[in-house]
Chain A
Amino acid sequence: MKNRLRELRAERAWSQGDLGGKLDVSRQTINAIETEKYDPSLPLAFKIARLFKKPIEDIFTSGD
């Protein structure tokens, strides 16, 4: 799955640690999602979408 997490985070000048803190996950989890090594669970994906005030499909897209 592809995502725009790094781009959205950079727009807000947040560090991975800042974003992790806002989402209650570790900085390493944010890094793994951004590098697309790990796909977040649906609840975490919704949390991310809520935080960035965007629909999920604007942030996460199929890798096909």
Chain B
Amino acid sequence: MENKTHSYSDMCALGTISFKQMMKSLVWLAVTCALYVVMFWLVKRHPEWSPGWRVVATLTPLLPGVFYLLSLLRSFRAMDELQRRIQLEAWVFALAGTVVVTAVLNVLNENGIGPAAYPHGLQIGGVYMTMYVFWSLGFAISRLRYR
């Protein structure tokens, strides 16, 4: 390894995004999750609201969610070509891994031998967690490959 410089190169660790960009994405994710919890609670607490209002309230977290997606896209565009490849490989690994886990759980449940903790397969939270685990694994493997 060579000496480090304080250039663009320093900002980008292998396959990662700059701290500032990461924080922006995390803030939008936190706002989305917080709004989701608040709106979920409000809609449950106010059954008298009209269906229209309930739909609007339920979909409100989509707005910061869109900003979260945009900030992720911006981070992706700021990466150089190797970093993009590492991210792409990590996402493919996450997607394929999640599909396999979901399919296996589904087959096990169909045959009545599924794990007791997942009687209906993976719920949405389980899908997020599985994707995150596989993304982390894929990221680590890809990062090692190009180190």
Contacts and interface: CB of A to CB of B under 8 A. Distances in A.
Contacts, number: 71
A27 interface: yes
B9 A17 contact: yes
Nearest to A31: B1
Given A20-B9, A21-B7, A44-B81, A26 B2 contact: no
A25 B1 CA distance: 16
B10 A17 contact: yes
B14 A17 contact: no
Contacts of B2: 15-17, 27, 31
B5 interface: yes
A27 B3 CA distance: 10
Contacts of B81: 25, 29, 40-41, 44
Given A15-B3, A28-B14, A21 B82 contact: no
Contacts of B3: 15, 17
* SS of A interface (majority): helix
A31 B7 CA distance: 15
Contacts of B5: 15, 17-18, 21, 27
Interface residues on A, range: 20 to 34
Contact of A32 (B4, B7, B10, B82): B82
Interface residues of B, number: 21
Contacts of B9: 16-17, 20-21, 25-28, 30
B20 interface: no
B110 interface: no
Interface of B: 1-5, 7-10, 12-15, 80-83, 85, 145-147
Interface of A: 15-18, 20-21, 24-32, 37-38, 40-41, 44
